[in-house]
Structure 1
Amino acid sequence: MKCMLGLHKSHDAVELSKIIESKKQEIEEETQEIESIIIPSYKEKSKTTDEKLSITIGKLHELEKETGKNRKFWHQEVDTIFNKFDSMMKSIKENHLAGLKSHHSRLSKLIQEMTETVKKNKKILLSKTMSAVTSYKSKLHKYRNMPTDIDVKLPSLKTNTAQGRELRIELGEHQAMLTQGALSSLTDKFSYSLPSKLLDKAKMIASIPTRVKPLGHVACVGVDEAWVSGIDKTIRHVDIHGSGRGTVTCQYWPSDITVTRHGELVYSDVNKTVNIVRQGRTETLITTPPGWKPDKLCCTKLGDILVSMFTTDFSQYKIVRYQGHTVRQEIDRDEHGQLIYKGGALTLYVVENNNGDICASDNNAKSVVVVDKSRRVRLRYDGTPARRKKSFNPAHIVTDSMSHIIVTDKNNACLHILDQNGQFLRCVDNCGLDKPNGLSVDREGRLWVGLLNTGEVKVIQYMT
């Protein structure tokens, strides 16, 4: 009445009862949609996910049974080979089942939350308290956006038994093989892929212009594609023909990039985090402890992530093995308590070899350092056997299917190839590798070498 008769009489007035009635009508319609449409949809999705979970467990169980059956065909190397496959299966189960269980749990929680919302809404509709109605906040938009379904891709198991000659087993992208060299017993030779011999002269298969200058890092994806990055905030996806396949924008420029066994991009940045890109979304995977910053990365075949990190004053380096968010191993001191890696402003690159050795390119010490599973320093390589004109300048480092250790040498425009025991085999220096910087190996066993100044990536075949 004051608004009608007083100073406010210039504006329209609506009875409060009509506003309340309109608001209640809105709540009633919303409650009806949640109860009759959205909750049943979630329940159906939960049922489907539960069925998928059961099917996945069954299939994984069958895969485990199949790998178990093949044990009787393998002799001298059976324990080594199948222990690796068991570990792979355990990791696959943890990754896939954890994702499905998490998705199922989230759906269940949302169903419970929506059921509670319906109950509360019904109480509001019966309530005579105006504040209960006017303070109502809608959750309809949240509930309409159902969580994205989980896509489970299980590896296939393939076996081949040529009695008396060859035994082969393959699980997804990993394979092992035993060959018989004599009738008396099986040899101890087995490998994880087919390439087996170094070429006398390496061959350049392709030269890819990336337009990233300076080019810092290369990480292969499958056979004919790779991620590349420099000192800007963009990581680019290119193929062997030089075509762009997409980009990822970072908050800070990446210190390193790598790819998981499932093809997901992982990168570290100066903001103390290691991040993973899943379905176009960036998630923080690891945050380093206070006083440490992440640097170089390696995704292992069994799903762990190795992170080299340094103190903020560059006085100390270490390599940390993460399984998910959990620290499983730290490598910084040898069996005598001495620091393994040298402090300084340069970087420590890291990779894991097939036998479990941790191979590092210690640029501050100008050497390659190999540490075994018990943190014992197996070897140090300083480049002397290669007899190059300039001093050894090791940087990016990889290993291949034959356990070769391959490291870039920017000073001498070449790659050094060592066997797993640090024995120098040869240099790749005939493919125009001016300032080789990024380095990766694709699934066909070819090297992708990034050139610092030109931004090119050279694809090199160096094994038969």
Structure 2
Amino acid sequence: MNTRYCAQDVLRCSVCKEDPLHSYCQLCHINLCTNCIESHLSDSNKHHPVVPYQTKNNNYPPCPQHRDRHCEDFCEKCDVPVCSNCLSSGKHNRHTLSDVLQKLREKTEDLKNDLKELQDRIRPKYEEIVTDLRTQEASLDTYCAELTAAIVREGEDWHRKIDIVVNKRLSEAEEMKNKYHTALSKHEKDVRDTASEIEQSILDLEKMLDSNDAFLISVYESRNTEFRSFPPRVLVTVPIFTSPRDNKEQLDQLFGSLSGSDVKTDENGYTMEEPEIPTSPPFKPLLNQPRTTVCINIGQTWPNSVACLGDDKVWTCGYDNSIRLYNLQNRLLKSLQTKSGKIPGDIALMRSGELVYTDPQARGINKVKNKKIKEMVRFKGWMPFNVCSTFSDDLLVSMCSVDYSESKVVRFSDFTETQTVQFNNDGTPLYSPGFGKYITENRNLDICVSDGNAMAVVVVSRAGKLRFRYTGHPSSATGPFTPRGIAADGQSQILVADINNHCVYVLDSDGALLRKMCQITSPYGICVDSRDNLYVIEWNQPSMGMVRKIQYM
């Protein structure tokens, strides 16, 4: 009998699933064995509070009503943490209860989301509004100067006979300008006052997060809805000066007048653009036992790359000059030859569905449209190998120098180079020399590279700053970590094919190992469709490659 499934078996580590637990991470809320503590506290997790498992309940917040008790539940109706004494008092009878730690995690995430929205979207929008108001004021002064000059010119034409009328009109113009200045200044003050409140809210939220005060977080109430209600736009109707010249008798009417003007507000004037990057879908847990749902025998020479076209077709390429499209019924729909007749390096799909492939030997990036192949970029001194498309429809390309001494990642927007990622902050190379660097972008906009020569996964931020390196997990491998294909799913989880250990690893966005999917023969290229199904090329035989579709979430 397998003791791991016995009721009296010891509790085991949440990471490796093998060894008995020893400690507990109070931030991630996972059990850790002695071997996994060190790897969990590496890189971005190094400040996580890891405590002995026996003291993990100390993470429960103290009850504000009963100081000798800790709150293990959360009353959904009263919206407060509650302890056992609170429950026994009868005040929460028939109220829905939930786990307080889970509730605190949810509240903390809401707080972080509010802070991010305030910093990244709401505050910049208010700054934009202030700039807009100041621009209106500057334009108003310029126009009023022109208006005054027009009135003066008309007065000179009429000479002394209309001095009184001229002075009257000038007075009207000055009064109008003062009226507009007053209205705009008042509106600007109101906007700046609200912006100051936002700044204070940001400071309060940052202080609350730093303090990790569970009670303050649990009772936190968001003001973001209030701040999303932007002020109305101030619209200034500028008058036009007109001059009837036929009748000179009634100077006041004939000299010219100012058209009607007003200061009013447009309630729909300011809007906040929605972010381009899609929000994360609802959380989907990993299956205990991933299952293969489709197998496609592609019969391609040493296939190494796969890209999903929708949820029912896949493009593949390998060590010949053909790129092929299959449906999930194992039918070859299309086959095309590379423009140069040489072996393609990798394939990717743009959001429009257009196919892009690299040609290392021809040193170019090509796009396929309407069965026609067009070379979009050609390089000198560098060879493009692996490629992926991003959420913003950019291309990320891993490249190596023609002498194989350097490697880098280059971002292309509309096939124009916009970013190069090559060195760490200390000037050391981020990637090993040579080719063999599959690449992807996750929903956090991190650039994730599978560096086969370095036997590591290298993850940098959107700005190109190193976040972490993953070099395998000792307890989950039977041989050296040999990463090949890499992909990211809707949960920002990073999937890495390990050809030597015949498995695909699932890492979280911070590099912690979540799951190992085994019994996949020599996995090489991988990709994920819109429903988070995994497609894996098995590189087990030179001319009988297989694409396996796996449901793992």
**Deviation at residue 458 of structure 1 after TM alignment:** 0.5
The answer as to whether partners of 1:275 and 1:284 remain within 8 angstroms in 2 is yes
Match of 1:272 among 351, 359, 363: 363
**Any stretches of 5+ residues in structure 1 without a counterpart?**
1-73, 87-180
Give 1:401's aligned residue.
490
Q: Does 1:416 align with 2:505?
A: yes
- Taking the aligned partners of 1:245 and 1:443, their CA distance within structure 2 comes to 21
Give 2:467's aligned residue.
378
Give 1:281's aligned residue.
372
Change (3 A) 1:295 1:77: same
- What TM-score do you get using the length of structure 1 for normalisation? 0.59
Give 2:546's aligned residue.
456
**Deviation at residue 382 of structure 1 after TM alignment:** 0.7
- What TM-score do you get using the length of structure 2 for normalisation? 0.50
Task: Please list, as runs of the form range in 1=range in 2, the aligned pairs for 1:6-405 lying within 5 A after superposition.
Answer: 78=117, 185=221, 191-194=279-282, 196-250=284-338, 251=340, 252-269=342-359, 270-288=361-379, 290-344=380-434, 346-405=435-494
Give the share of equivalent positions with the same residue, in percent.
32
Which residue identity is paired with 1:201?
Q
- Taking the aligned partners of 2:120 and 2:372, their CA distance within structure 1 comes to 36
Which residue identity is paired with 1:458?
R
* Secondary structure, counterpart of 2:289 in structure 1: strand
**Deviation at residue 216 of structure 1 after TM alignment:** 1.3
- Relative contact order: is structure 1 or structure 2 higher (C-alpha 8 Å, sep ≥ 6)? 1
Task: Please list, as runs of the form range in 1=range in 2, the aligned pairs for 1:436-447 lying within 5 A after superposition.
Answer: 436-447=523-534
- Taking the aligned partners of 1:315 and 1:341, their CA distance within structure 2 comes to 11
- Taking the aligned partners of 1:348 and 1:283, their CA distance within structure 2 comes to 24
Deviations 1:81-140 (A, max 9, x none): 979xx9xxxxxxxxxxxxxxxxxxxxxxxxxxxxxxxxxxxxxxxxxxxxxxxxxxxxxx
* Secondary structure, counterpart of 1:254 in structure 2: coil
**Deviation at residue 392 of structure 1 after TM alignment:** 0.5
**Deviation at residue 322 of structure 1 after TM alignment:** 0.5
- Taking the aligned partners of 1:413 and 1:82, their CA distance within structure 2 comes to 44
Larger radius of gyration: 2
- Taking the aligned partners of 1:390 and 1:237, their CA distance within structure 2 comes to 34
- Taking the aligned partners of 1:322 and 1:254, their CA distance within structure 2 comes to 19
- Taking the aligned partners of 2:408 and 2:398, their CA distance within structure 1 comes to 6
* Secondary structure, counterpart of 1:284 in structure 2: strand
- Calculate the aligned-residue CA RMSD, in Å: 2.5
Change (3 A) 1:390 1:186: farther
- Taking the aligned partners of 1:316 and 1:282, their CA distance within structure 2 comes to 29
**Deviation at residue 303 of structure 1 after TM alignment:** 0.9
**Deviation at residue 348 of structure 1 after TM alignment:** 1.3
The answer as to whether partners of 1:386 and 1:416 remain within 8 angstroms in 2 is no
- Residue-pair matches, total: 289
Change (3 A) 1:391 1:326: same
- Structure having the higher strand fraction is 1
**Deviation at residue 411 of structure 1 after TM alignment:** 0.4
- Taking the aligned partners of 1:79 and 1:304, their CA distance within structure 2 comes to 27
Deviations 1:187-206 (A, max 9, x none): 99x94334521111111111
**Any stretches of 5+ residues in structure 2 without a counterpart?**
1-112, 126-216, 225-277
The answer as to whether partners of 2:354 and 2:368 remain within 8 angstroms in 1 is yes
- Taking the aligned partners of 1:285 and 1:183, their CA distance within structure 2 comes to 55
Give 2:100's aligned residue.
none
**Deviation at residue 420 of structure 1 after TM alignment:** 0.6
- Taking the aligned partners of 2:417 and 2:534, their CA distance within structure 1 comes to 30
**Deviation at residue 77 of structure 1 after TM alignment:** 5.4
Which residue identity is paired with 1:441?
V
The answer as to whether partners of 2:301 and 2:320 remain within 8 angstroms in 1 is no
The answer as to whether partners of 2:495 and 2:504 remain within 8 angstroms in 1 is yes
* Secondary structure, counterpart of 1:271 in structure 2: coil
The answer as to whether partners of 2:385 and 2:399 remain within 8 angstroms in 1 is yes
- Taking the aligned partners of 2:374 and 2:439, their CA distance within structure 1 comes to 23
**Deviation at residue 384 of structure 1 after TM alignment:** 2.3
Give 1:131's aligned residue.
none
**Deviation at residue 394 of structure 1 after TM alignment:** 0.4
The answer as to whether partners of 2:476 and 2:516 remain within 8 angstroms in 1 is no
Which residue identity is paired with 2:532?
G
* Secondary structure, counterpart of 2:345 in structure 1: strand
The answer as to whether partners of 1:267 and 1:275 remain within 8 angstroms in 2 is yes
* Secondary structure, counterpart of 1:198 in structure 2: coil
The answer as to whether partners of 1:218 and 1:448 remain within 8 angstroms in 2 is yes
**Deviation at residue 413 of structure 1 after TM alignment:** 0.5
Deviations 1:169-220 (A, max 9, x none): xxxxxxxxxxxx98954799x9433452111111111111111132111001
Change (3 A) 1:75 1:208: same
Change (3 A) 1:337 1:305: same
Give 2:190's aligned residue.
none
* Secondary structure, counterpart of 2:356 in structure 1: strand
**Deviation at residue 327 of structure 1 after TM alignment:** 1.1
- Taking the aligned partners of 2:369 and 2:323, their CA distance within structure 1 comes to 14
Give 2:247's aligned residue.
none
The answer as to whether partners of 2:438 and 2:484 remain within 8 angstroms in 1 is yes
Change (3 A) 1:186 1:397: farther
Which residue identity is paired with 1:443?
S
**Deviation at residue 373 of structure 1 after TM alignment:** 2.8
